[in-house]
Chains A and B, each alone.
Chain A
Amino acid sequence: MADGPLIVQSDKTLLLEVDHERAAEARRAIAPFAELERAPEHVHTYRLTPLGLWNARAAGHDAEQVVDALMEYSRYPVPHALLVDIAETMSRYGRLQLVSDPAHGLVLHALDRAVLAEVLKSKRTAGLVGERVDELSVVVHPSERGHLKQVLVKLGWPAEDLAGYVDGEKHPIALSTETVTTTPDGAEIRKPWAMRPYQAQAVDGFWYGGSGVVVLPCGAGKTIVGAGAMAKSGTTTLILVTNTVSARQWRDELLRRTDLTEDEIGEYSGARKEIKPVTIATYQVLTTRRKGVYTHLELLDARDWGLVLYDEVHLLPAPIFRMTADLQARRRLGLTATLVREDGREDEVFSLIGPKRYDAPWKDIEAQGYIAPADCVEVRLTLPEHERMTYATAEPEDRYRLAASASGKKRVVEQIVAQHPDDQVLVIGQYIDQLEELAEHLDAPLIMGATTVRERQRLFDAFRSGEINHLVVSKVANFSIDLPEASVAIQVSGSFGSRQEEAQRLGRIMRPKADGRTAHFYAVVARDTVDQDFAAHRQRFLAEQGYAYRIVDAEDLGAASDTAV
């Protein structure tokens, strides 16, 4: 123990020294219960949270294992209070269970009378539970199953949901066993295909647990996990995704990876309202309200869904949570790259969709070659005198726009593009004027909100096939577009960099490259402006994700890139 790779801080953070010879071992030991917060080059920071510990309990780990893991790998003695707290927190999970009683239907069953008394005394549970069955059980209104679970997490006594699921309408789905690629000359090449081992583990972990969330990094094939879960379930499935483009990609991927035909997959979006055995709906259409009423709620009851899939769980909007509360009798699978939510509603994900069922250490997947390594560069541009003066005297609300669309960025982008003549380059920005100008300058097509879905698909396909090398996109392309061969991304402006947005943008270039080359991520930033302040957030995020991160001055760009490439 004297020389372990782990340092346990009293504020419940765990510091893992990655260069230590036992680091990998320690990482595997703590991964089930600790959330990775930062992964820079030397020391990774994990955090112990009640949800993390409960997730571990749900996955079958007990407090003793957690304590043993900490003691085993800790370099210094583990704070006593922390160990006590871990045992205390973990013992809270599962003292209450939701079970199906043959006589009374859904009941909340307690293993501890005092806990049940405490919970029932709370005002929050009033109206969610019915009459007492016996000393240890109380009837739960089936419609309040989700709501009750939410409340119990808030009260600190998360319930284990053992009440089971409705079977749903049967609809056999099988995974394909080979991939078919069409060569430019029209010939079909068939290769055997199977899920990657970690994807199969994720599906098994989910199925065994019943409902829950699978956490996989961008580019690790979450769609495949979804398809695998559907095959396992063999029932009608409702898939909820963030936007229409993403819906199309799900459809394509399902057609490719399963025996589902186009007739069996429906799209329920702003444009189309099809309900088929497998239906892909967007969050937006579900949350559309007319006169305060959700107009598309009937979709949830349109069929006897056997499985509900949530893509990008960390972006799930609040109304979907409320709807999900009513879907507790159906199996639910959440897919995400990160459980961190900007709004702090991780506990709702936990209570309504379910505990984390699978979490692949990011580094492991990278090491297996499924994710491309990336080089991140921040290019600092000194504004010319007249722009600085304009900036200094501008109203605060105009400053970011002024800094972000500084005229000098055009030249910098040009320079970067010139340095990557053989790469697929994606230019991402926020302001349409700036993007139009850039598109014109680079002679590249522009995709923005006004671009039709058909046109988007066409341009994406062209980009994918290498027909066009440069593409300028606005933030509409943030989520779930699939551009396998983009190896250079240049960000000229962004909405104040939230962590998810950054993860998504980075995800665009992290898909493994056919030739294994390094991906490049550039952010062009105006010096001494709010643009730079926002960039600092991005820099922190990227560095925390473990990417090598450099800052270069625009003037030195040529030299710096030469050394980097």
Chain B
Amino acid sequence: MATSRPPAATFAESLRSHGPARVLALLEARPDLAVPSPSTLRSLGARATSRTSLERAVAHLDACRLTVLEAVLALDDATRPGGVPADVVVRAVLGPDADADDVAAVRDALADVRTAGLVWEPLPDDPAAAPTQDVAPVRPAPGLDELLGAHPAGLGPSDDAARAAVARAGDDTDVLTRDAPPGAREVLAALTWGPPVGVAPRTDPRARAAVDWLVEQHLLLAVDGRHVVLPREVALALRGGRTHRGAAVRPPRPAGAQVRDETVEAEAASAALEAVRLVAHLLAVWQEQPPPVLRTGGLGVRELRRLAQTLGVDDPTAASVAELALVAGLVSDDGDDPPSFAPTTAADDWLDLEVPRRWAALATSWGATPRTPWVVGSRDERGTLRAALDPELHRAWVPALRASVLGVLAAQPGVSLDAHAVLEVLRWRSPRAVPPEHAVEGLLADAALLGVTGAGALSPVGRALLEGLDRPPTPGRVDALGDALETLVPPPVDELLLQGDLTGIVPGRPSTTLESLLAGSADVESRGAAVTVRFTADSVTRALDAGRTADELLDDLGAHARGGVPQPLEYLVRDAARRHGRLRVGAATSYLRAEDPALVVGLVEDPALRGLGLFRIAPTVLAAHVPAIELRAALRARGLSPTVEGPDGQVLHAEGTAVRIAGRRRPAWLGGPPARRPRSLRPDPRAESIEAPAPEPADARHARLSELAALLVATAGPAPSAAPSPRSSPASSLGSSPGSSTAASTASDAARPDAGANGTTATPAIPATPGTPGTPGGADQADAPASDTPRGEGTSEPADALALLRETIELGGHVWLEVVGPRGLPDTRRVRPLRLDAGRLRAVDADREAELTVAVHRIASVRPA
């Protein structure tokens, strides 16, 4: 069919005819094309039609754009050499009586896929004609047919005979099957909306007759002995010219419970306060007992469960809380031997902040982190349990997905959406790259934990966080976020109601001083809008242990208590104080006892034994700061003859000290550099395919791309209006003209003084941008050689070679193909390429009248014939 088309135009030519604005738009729509910077429009075109880049571009299309693209692909055939007109696309997608908004959506989508270089307009006859606002008829970019599968929109292959049959029937499709045997209509109906391939019946004679009749009438094609396929023309006729039915051209708005603003705010505020409290609690627990780090770098299951119990939450929440502390830089692997997780110095700074600021620090850190706490507790491919805080638990796409998820919530303010509903929208937004459901669930759970959502809807603080997600956090923004929370939370309460049943109630959110007073002297019984605590002998003893006296404690309590300290509580405190310290505990390494007090006193006074740190505990008992063996040796040296007692009675005391270590980096909320990845994490190869390019300020990016676009258009030679008509010079369709090629080199050299400075004049225009060596497909390496390949010489560069093959397939022509044979010897043949698919080239060798299939990696070079 390709041969029937006049050798009019190609994608590459169309690209070359673009002005800088179009090229810039293309580069902005597909940023991967600009890294590393392509040196010519030709290599840009090659890259834009490479499978990797197309896949990337298509993966980010939403359902509407993908539908439009499929429609263009399905409708693009020999009858429309000039491309598919926009209104045909609209009708095919929406049907005849479409809603105006839907039509506008489809037209926008068509414009967008054109901007992204996924469809292109065959060159207008008059190159000087001004570009119109509306989209001209378009054709799909080469390579898309491979990508979107054999049956776009569930349509089979084109067939000329079928087309003729349909044309004969005209508009009335019933005519097609007027004389059909019974069952034929049913067969057609089953295949109409795809998949178009059916199994031909073997046994049922009636069905066989029907299928045979349909094949005879060219309404079905026999693929092989077993299968039949419905030709595209027949299917389109039966579908009434439509490619899609019920296409969702506008994003779904999933139903969710409507939640009142006050509810959202209140829920978010209480969750935010609770999250801060949990992290602070974790720090308090871990500074006393830093949990060990697993050999693989995570937190063990048992430790996680212990943490969950201490915090009074379930295991997944505990994992999220620990991860929050990690990403905010509050805890870290201390690097000791054996290593454990301990609070960092940043934790002290954090604890000095007011609660809203603390929350803002956590929330901004969460907003930027690529970590995936929701997989904690699941097993990896090797069956190993994934541990919380494991350095491997991160995926580069998480920040982007987080922004999308929050974006979906932001689009429906005041509506409570669950993971299922959010996923419904995300699935529409990128049907070919649907995020895993558990990741969405995990992100929503974390968002709820932090108060980014309240009652399932995006909270005001969540919105504030979302608005800052595209920029690296700064201390100023963290403060602003803290202020946003401050307006939501109730003001702190400094009042305590003490009661005769030894409980105390703070009727609201306790102030920091009150909170620490109660944390040190009472046990919390219930939390929520208010806090209730109970004083027990144990809890009061804890306060006394921390160095308060009974009077101080009573004074402090009395200062906060509206009605004074009730008598039973006062009695409890005094009673606990009376009993406190009746037993004394101290540290000693060894002890010494003797029957003779005089001897014991002599030893303490002996200057020669001073280094032992001897001190008297009782008239006949001494303790020493040296081990028993050393003590015995020293006493022996003094001419005494001590004996060593068994280990019983040895006093040990481990004073709990607050461990602090320096974090490996200063956390962003303290003004440190933005975290791209948690420390000591290796880049994850699996993440690369979906990874978004490094965030770069939008204006900087725009400036860089504009410069690149201008450069590219300039290297393409004279402006499109002055370009030689492609038809006048068929050869030019296969490569840049010699002039333009030279111009490219020169312009490129001129534009890059550093190229000469590097002394690489022999291979001009090697991009200064660092490449990514070893990228499969080699699309990125195409630039340097492409520019200096003389016209007609063809190319040995894989990307250019493939581009040339695609172009030739499209136009129908011949190329010289240099193929490396199985023995490593090159063999050059003149072939007509037919199809490039799945890494194989199918071509016809005209001279030998044979069809051959060559693996792409065996193609050494391609030259236009």
Contact = CB atoms under 8 A, between A and B. Distances in A.
A517 interface: no
Interface string B228-271: 00000000000000000000000000000001001101110010
Contacts of A17: 497, 507
A80 B508 CA distance: 17
B500 A79 contact: no
A499 interface: no
B532 A15 contact: yes
A11 B502 CA distance: 20
Interface string A9-51: 1110101010000000000000000000010111101000000
Nearest to A540: B501
Contacts of B579: 528
B501 A38 contact: yes
B853 interface: no
B263 A80 contact: yes
B528 interface: yes
Nearest to B497: A42
Interface stretch (A86-94, A331-339, A407-415, A548-556): A548-556
A444 to B, nearest CB: 30
Contacts of A38: 501, 503
Contacts of B267: 77, 79-80
A311 to B, nearest CB: 29
Contact of A543 (B497, B501, B528): B501
A17 B497 CA distance: 10
Interface string B785-808: 000000000000000000000000
A7 B571 contact: no
The size class of the interface chain B forms with chain A is 20 to 34
A131 to B, nearest CB: 40
Given A8-B529, A38-B501, A42-B499, A76 B490 contact: yes
Nearest to B509: A76
A544 interface: yes
A17 B499 CA distance: 12
B530 interface: yes
A13 B505 CA distance: 13
B206 to A, nearest CB: 43
Contacts of B379: none
Contacts of B262: 77
B718 interface: no
B527 interface: yes
A61 interface: no
A79 B269 CA distance: 11
Contacts of A45: 532
B455 interface: yes
A75 interface: yes
Contacts of B490: 76
A297 to B, nearest CB: 44
A545 to B, nearest CB: 9
Is chain B's binding surface mostly helix, strand, loop or mixed?
Answer: mixed
A551 B568 contact: yes
A7 B528 CA distance: 9
Interface in A150-189: none
Interface string B518-543: 00000000111110100000000000
A15 B530 contact: yes
Contact of A42 (B530, B563, B568): B563
B689 interface: no
Contact of B527 (A9, A41, A77, A539): A9
A548 B490 CA distance: 33
A171 B502 CA distance: 53
Contact of B529 (A43, A76, A544): A76
B567 interface: yes
A77 B266 contact: yes
Contacts of B567: 549-551
Nearest to B270: A79
Contacts of B528: 7-11, 13, 79
Contacts of B562: 42
A543 B527 contact: no
Given A9-B529, A11-B527, A548 B501 contact: no
Given A42-B563, A45-B532, A540 B526 contact: no
19 contacts: A7-B530, A9-B526, A10-B527, A10-B528, A13-B528, A17-B507, A40-B500, A42-B498, A42-B505, A43-B499, A43-B503, A43-B507, A75-B508, A77-B267, A77-B529, A80-B454, A540-B501, A549-B501, A551-B568
Interface of B: 259, 262-263, 265-267, 270, 454-455, 490, 497-503, 505, 507-508, 526-530, 532, 562-563, 566-568, 571, 579
Q: Give me the 10 closest cross-chain CB pairs, A-B, nearest first.
A: A77-B266, A9-B528, A543-B501, A76-B529, A40-B499, A543-B500, A10-B528, A7-B530, A80-B455, A551-B571
